[in-house]
Structure 1
Amino acid sequence: MKLLVNLYVKLFARQFFYKFNKALFKLGLKGMGVLNHRDVILSGEKHLIAKILKKKIKNEQPVIFDIGANIGNYTSLLLDSFPKAQIHAFEPHPKNYSRLTERMFTNNVKSHNIALGEECGTLTLYDKADANGSTHASIYKEVISEIYKQEVVTVDVSIDTLDKVAEREGIRYIDFLKIDTEGNELAILKGASRLLEESRIGYIHFEFNEMNIFSKVFFRDFVKLLHNYNFFRLLPSGLLPLGDTPLETELFAYQNILAVPKDK
C-alpha cells in the first residue's frame, strides 16, 4: 500500500492534475458523509429517524426537541416515525415561526418562538435581505455576508437555555435532541449543562459545517463537552464512526453528526 501511495504522489502530485485530484477529494468527502446536503435521503437524516432512532428509542411517547425547526420539515419527519412523541419545536425567526405554527401538526407539538443558547437574554439574528425568513438565519453576521455573500437584515430575538426550558416544561428526560442553528450548536449544549451532567439527554443530532469558522468552534469542543458520548457521521443508509484525528473530524463543511450516549 505504501508503495502505491508513493507512486501516486510521484505521478499525480502535479499542478496539471489539480482538477482531477480536487474531484477525487470532493467525491471522497461525499463518500464519508460530507457535503450531502441535497435532500434528507442523501444527508442520512431520513434514515436516522425512520430506521435508527425508530429502533433505538423504546419509549412510545418520546420527548423530542427540534431546535432550529424553521418551518417544520424536520418536525414532520419526526412525526412520521414517532406520531405519539411530545415534540418541542424552537424557531426564533418571526416569519419562520409564523409558517411553523400555520402547519397542521398534532396537539403533541409545542412551538416556541425563542432562540436557545448558553445564557438567557436577547440577541440579534442575521438573515438574507432578499429572503428574510430563509433556512440560513444565524447569530453570526458573516454567515450571510461572507458565506452566502448577501445583504444582511436583522431581527432581535429572545434567548433561553435548555436547562431552564426543561425545568419550566417539567421535562425529566429528552430522548432525542436535534440542533440546526447555523453555528450556535455548541452554545446551546453549554446551556444544557445540568441536563448533560445528570445524563438526561439521549441521542443528539447536530450539524457541523463552515458556520463553525465564525463561531470559532472545533469538533474537538463537542467531544470535550459531550465526553459521555460516542460520535458518528450520518451516511445515506448508516453511520460512520468518527476517529479522533483532526484530519477526519475538523472538516468545516456540511455534515450531520449523531452523538450516542456511551451506555446505549
Structure 2
Amino acid sequence: MKIEQPQSNQSSQGSVETSGETAIIQQFISEGSVVFDVGANVGDWTKEVLSRLTDVEVHLFEPIPQVYNTLLENLAENTNAPKITANNLALTKNENDEYKTFYYYENASAWSTFYRREVVEQMGWHKAPNEIVVPTLNIDSYCERLGIQRINFLKIDVEGAELDVLYGARNLLRRGEVDYIQFEYGATFIDASITLKDVFDYLHEFGFSIFKILPQGLEDKPFFLEQHENYGYNNFLAVGERVHSFVSGNRPDVTITIPSPVVKEIPINRKDASNLEKIKAELAKSKARLNQLTTHNQQVQGHENKYQFYHASL
C-alpha cells in the first residue's frame, strides 16, 4: 500500500485552489450561510471563504494552542470579516466536555491528530510528536449551547477523526439540519482503524448523497465499492436531502463528471442470479444519474438563523 508523504501545512492533497475545494466554496456556500471549519489549522480554507463572501457566520475549531494563535493572527487580516467564532478545542464524538491526548507534529502541524502516525514516523517523515492534552466537545452540544439550528456547510479535516466528528453530530444529522459536509479521506483512516465505507454507511443512514471532489468537478458515488477503499488522499462532499436538487440539476457552472469506469467497476457474479439482478438495477441507476447530472449555478437560498457569538475578538 502506498502512503503519500505529508505536505507541510497545506491540505494533504494540495492547496485549496488545486484540489477543487475553491470551486466547492464558490458554488455551495452562499451569503447568510453558517459554516463550520473543523480542523482549521492556520485558517487557509476559511480565508478562502472570507475572500468571496461578506455575510457568513464561521465557526472554527483548532486544538493546538500555538497553531490557534497563528490562526487568530491570520483571521485578523480580514478586517471586513463578518461573524467569526474561533475555538481552541477539538470536536469529537463525546457528548460531555473531556480532555484528550492529542499528537502535535511541530514540523507539519496539519498532520497532528488524535491517532498517532506511527507508520509515517517510522518512514522518517516526521519526528515523534509532542503529546498535549486538549479540550473536546461534540457538534451537537456546541450547537445546542450557542443556539445554532442549522449548519449550511460543515468542513472536516481532522486526520483520521472525521468519523468521530460525524458521530458527534448525530442529532443534527438525524433532524436534517446539516446541508453539506466536506470531509477528507486518506491513510490517516488506517491509523484511526476506520474505513471510507464506515463513513459512507453512516451518512447514507441520514439520506446523504456522496461525491468525490476532483479539480475538474464532482464525481458521483451513489454506492460504495471495494475499490474505493484505496487510502489515497481525497476530499468528498456529502449532500443532504434538503439541498440535493441544487447538485442534481440546477447549477450550470459546476460540472459533475462520471467517468465510464464507474459503470464498469461493479463486480458481477454470474452464478448468483439474484445478485445479477441487483447489479443490473444498480447499473440502471448509474446510467440514469449520468443523464441527470449536468452543470449547476443556482445559489442555495433561504439560509436562516444568523448568530453572533464571539470566542475571540477579531
Fold agreement, TM-score > 0.5: yes
Tell me the CA shift for residue 37 of structure 1. 2.0
State, as a whole percentage, how many aligned pairs show the same letter. Answer: 31
The alignment's TM-score, normalised by the length of structure 2, stands at: 0.67
Cα deviation 1:213-260 (Å, max 9, x = unaligned): 01111111112211111111111131011242111x212121000001
**Which residue among 195, 212, 215 is the counterpart of 2:192?**
215
Displacement over 4 Å in runs of 4+: none
Tell me the CA shift for residue 149 of structure 1. 4.1
Whichever residue aligns with residue 159 of structure 1, its letter is: T
Tell me which residue corresponds to 1:262. 241
Whichever residue aligns with residue 108 of structure 1, its letter is: K
Cα deviation 1:121-152 (Å, max 9, x = unaligned): 111111225x2x71111111225534644222
Whichever residue aligns with residue 109 of structure 1, its letter is: I
Tell me which residue corresponds to 1:123. 100
Q: Answer yes or no: is the 8 Å Cα contact 2:59–2:87 preserved in 1.
A: yes
**Which residue among 194, 209, 228 is the counterpart of 1:230?**
209
Mapping for residues 1-264 of structure 1, pairs under 5 Å: 37-50=13-26, 52-54=27-29, 57=30, 60-103=31-74, 104=76, 105=78, 106-119=81-94, 120-129=97-106, 131=107, 134-142=109-117, 145-146=121-122, 148-227=125-204, 228-242=207-221, 243-247=223-227, 249-263=228-242, 264=244
Give the structure with the larger strand fraction. 1
Distance 1:159 1:214 in 2: 20
Tell me which residue corresponds to 1:18. none
Distance 1:224 1:49 in 2: 25
Distance 2:196 2:171 in 1: 21
> Could you say what secondary structure the match of 2:117 adopts?
helix
Tell me the CA shift for residue 76 of structure 1. 0.5
Q: Answer yes or no: is the 8 Å Cα contact 1:36–1:42 preserved in 2.
A: no
Distance 1:79 1:146 in 2: 39
Most deviating of 228-237 and 137-146: 137-146
Distance 1:208 1:251 in 2: 10
> Could you say what secondary structure the match of 1:71 adopts?
coil
Tell me the CA shift for residue 115 of structure 1. 0.3
Give the structure with the larger helix fraction. 1
Q: Answer yes or no: is the 8 Å Cα contact 2:104–2:112 preserved in 1.
A: yes
Cα deviation 1:53-104 (Å, max 9, x = unaligned): 14xx5xx311000000011111101112322100001100101100111221
Cα deviation 1:172-215 (Å, max 9, x = unaligned): 00000000000000001001111111111110000000000011
The alignment's TM-score, normalised by the length of structure 1, stands at: 0.79
Aligned length: 223
CA gap of 1:236–1:96, structure 2 versus 1, over 3 A, is: same
Q: Answer yes or no: is the 8 Å Cα contact 2:63–2:88 preserved in 1.
A: yes
Q: Answer yes or no: is the 8 Å Cα contact 1:63–1:87 preserved in 2.
A: yes
Q: Answer yes or no: is the 8 Å Cα contact 1:42–1:235 preserved in 2.
A: no
Aligned-residue RMSD, C-alpha: 2.0
> Could you say what secondary structure the match of 1:168 adopts?
helix
Distance 1:178 1:149 in 2: 26
Distance 2:38 2:12 in 1: 21
Whichever residue aligns with residue 259 of structure 1, its letter is: A
> Could you say what secondary structure the match of 1:77 adopts?
helix
Gaps of 5+ in 1: 1-25, 27-34
Distance 1:42 1:142 in 2: 25
